[in-house]
Amino acid sequence: MLLQLGKGMIVSVEIFVLTLLFSLPLGLIVAFGRMSKNALLRTVTKIYISIMRGTPLMLQLLVVYFGPYYVFKIRITNHYRFIAVIIAFAVNYAAYFAEIYRSGIESMPIGQYEAAKVLGYGRGRTFFKIILPQVIKRILPAVTNEIITLVKDTSLSFAIAQAEMFTIAKQIAAAQTTIMPLMAAGVFYYIFNLAVAAVMERLEKAYAYYR
Amino acid sequence: MKLLEMNHVKKQFNGLEVIRDISLSVEEGEVVSIIGPSGSGKSTLLRCATMLERMDSGELIYLGEYAARDRDGKCVYAPKAELKKMHRYFGLVFQSFHLFPHYSVLKNITDSLICVDKLPKQEAVERAERLLAQLGLADKRDAYPYQLSGGQQQRVSIARALAKQPRLLFFDEPTSALDPELTVEVLKVIKELAKEHMTMVIVTHEMQFAREVSDRIVFMEEGVIKEQGTPEQLFGTENERVREFIGHLSGGSLLT
């Protein structure tokens, strides 16, 4: 049982890592769109964020997975299941991260931009050297919250029968009529999140050298 | 030689005329103070000169080079590359310092020298250390801005501006965020610079200081220059409004 759950956990971790890998940068791009001077781009990203936050992630998973078949009559392969999970999660979490980035960027005092401009920093250099490092420090607690939620949200992929830890635990529980696998899965998620919290705390400490 | 020339500058914010036709020029080595009541447009004028605000109309000229020309009442700025070059001619010290909180004192000064001006790192560090020693901050080299007093932070920001070796240095109310004790240490630094004939334009509410340090004082009100002259001329003026303003800020003790 533990061996099977362990395999499932590897898949859960894969979902977790890949989602962060794609959604963190994607969120920054969406945040730029949300703050753009271009009204069309601003509206489009606003609607996108609104839908991502306003509908269930489980529903989004189903749409991404079954959508190609129902809409375009494309045959869904088994291989696509995992890809669908990553797409749905990345696109959903990017919306949340975008709003976190935006709140951080908009909280930066204008004086930082002006000081940089007078010293000759260009726009890109100002953002990446002066603004972004300070934004990251400010948004770390909010990002930690999202990441911890993501660990637990990976279990939603049972909705399209992706064989990650929760799906497997449920299968074993049903086959052997015991609740133990579900309890074990719970412990796994908890330990996973303890580790995540520890990492994020270290990161916050690393940024604590200034105020 | 004229380092800065501003001709017929106008600037509105949402229909409100903040600067109404101001012309001002600054000679090399000259120290010009700008005084006047709040909302008179002093800071906006400085922000136009340093290109943090775009003028609506008028001309902006640095060392004879046009940063902005007037074409039929509209202001046309030079291409970006030229403006970038002209940015090297001046430095600006802000009221609330605007140091980069995530950089050490040293890095606040050297970072732009290294990554913008392409100075070798060693040379940038040596230049910064020299300035820090000169401003009495040698031991603060590795401190972060939050560990410094307001006066120290402002001196670091002066060092940061000086490190770029500007021809002209602007100060936007450099002591308004400081308590009286810390004000003294910052004013002392500016006086030292004046002795070394650094060209400076200073927006300030410190009348005694303006009187001591300036070659010329400009009194601004309601978006225009109401009066200007040497400190002796301005503090002995017949102009009732100017007398009232200076008297109010200095308790009358400075008027002659």
Q: State how far the alpha carbon of A18 is from the alpha carbons of A117, A161, A195, in Å.
A: 37, 18, 17
Q: What are phi and psi of B90, to 5 degrees?
A: -135, 160
C-alpha–C-alpha distance, residues B93 and B167, integer Å: 14
CB < 8 Å to B144, chain A: 209-211
Q: Is B91 within 8 Å of chain A by CB? A: yes
The answer to the question of residue B43 being in a domain is no
Q: Does residue A162 surpass a pLDDT of 90?
A: no
Predicted confidence at residue B254, as pLDDT, reads: 74
Residue-averaged pLDDT of chain B: 93
In this prediction, residue B253 has a pLDDT band, given cuts at 50, 70 and 90, of confident
- What is the token pair recorded at B191? 């006086």
Q: Confidence class of residue A84 from pLDDT cuts 50, 70 and 90?
A: very high
Which of A:90-149 have CB within 8 Å of B?
Answer: 109, 111-112, 114-121, 125, 129-130, 133-134, 137
Confidence of residue B8 (pLDDT cuts 50, 70, 90): very high
Three-state secondary-structure class, residue B44: helix
Kindly calculate the radius of gyration of chain B based on its CA atoms and give it in whole angstroms: 18
Distance between start and end Cα atoms, chain A: 49
- Directed axis angle between helix A180-206 and helix A132-153, to 10°? 180
**A115 to chain B, minimum CA–CA distance in Å?**
6
What is the reported pLDDT for B248? 83
State both tokens at B164: 């770029």
Q: Percentage of chain A with pLDDT > 90?
A: 76
For residue B224, pLDDT over 80 is answered with: yes
The pLDDT of residue A77: 81
Distance from CA of A199 to the nearest CA of B (A): 21
Tens of pLDDT, residue by residue over B11-53, are 999 999 999 999 999 999 999 999 999 989 999 999 999 999 9
The pLDDT assigned to A98 comes to 97
Q: What is the pLDDT of residue B190?
A: 96
Nearest-neighbour CA in chain B from A207: distance (Å): 9
pLDDT attached to residue A133: 95
Q: What pLDDT does B30 receive?
A: 96
| Whether A118 and B91 lie within 8 Å, measured CB to CB | yes
In a domain, B237, yes or no: no
- Chain B touched by A50 (CB under 8 Å): no
Q: How many CB pairs under 8 A join A and B?
A: 53
Going from N- to C-terminal start, the domains of chain A cover 2-206
pLDDT band at residue A211, thresholds of 50, 70 and 90? Answer: confident
Write down the pLDDT at residue B238.
87
Query: Which amino acid, B56?
Result: D
Region A7-20: mean pLDDT is 93
Question: Whole-structure pTM over 0.95, yes or no?
Answer: no
| Domain range for B146 | 98-165
Query: What's residue B151's pLDDT?
Result: 94
Q: Which residue of A has its CA nearest to B144?
A: A210
Q: What is the CATH number of domain A2-206?
A: 1.10.3720.10
CA nearest to B9, candidates B63, B64, B66, B74:
B74
- Residue in chain A closest to B164 (alpha carbons) equals A119
Residue A24: its pLDDT value, please? 96
Is residue B148 domain-resident?
Answer: yes
Average pLDDT over residues A180-202: 93
Q: Do A134 and B112 touch (CB under 8 A)?
A: no
Q: Count the domains in chain B.
A: 1
At A25 the pLDDT is: 96
Q: Which two tokens stand for residue A206?
A: 């690393």
Q: Is residue B149 part of a domain?
A: yes
pLDDT in tens, A18-72: 999 999 999 999 999 999 999 999 999 999 999 999 999 999 999 999 998 888 8
Considering only residues B41 and A1, tell me which one the structure prediction assigns the higher pLDDT.
B41
Q: Which of A205, A120, A15 is nearest to B119 (CA)?
A: A120
Span B93-112, pLDDT tens digits: 999 999 999 999 999 999 99
- Tens of pLDDT, residue by residue over A106-134, are 999 999 999 999 999 999 999 999 999 99
> For residue B170, is pLDDT > 90?
yes
Alpha carbon distances (Å) from A22 to A15, A88, A93, A97, B145: 11, 11, 9, 11, 35
Answer whether B92's CB lies under 8 Å from A95's CB: no
The Cα B6–Cα B61 span in angstroms is 6
Nearest CA among A44, A114, A65 for reference residue B87 = A114
As a whole number, the mean pLDDT across chain A is 93
Cross-chain Cβ contact A129/B111 below 8 Å: yes
- Identify the band that residue B194 occupies on the pLDDT scale cut at 50, 70 and 90: very high
Length, in residues, of chain B: 256
Q: What is the pLDDT of residues B131-168, one digit of tens each?
A: 999 999 999 999 999 999 999 999 999 999 999 999 99
B interface mutation test: which of A110, A118, A140 has the most B CBs within 10 A? A118
% pLDDT > 70, chain A? 100
Distance to chain A for B178, nearest Cα, Å: 17
The answer to whether residues B1 and B55 touch, using CB atoms and an 8 Å cutoff, is no
State how far the alpha carbon of A15 is from the alpha carbons of A7, A19, A87, B221, in Å.
13, 6, 10, 64
Cβ neighbourhood burial of B219 (10 Å; 0-12, 13-18, 19+): buried
* Domain annotation covers residue B131: yes
* Residues B50/B90, Cβ–Cβ less than 8 Å: yes
Residue B108 lies in a domain: yes
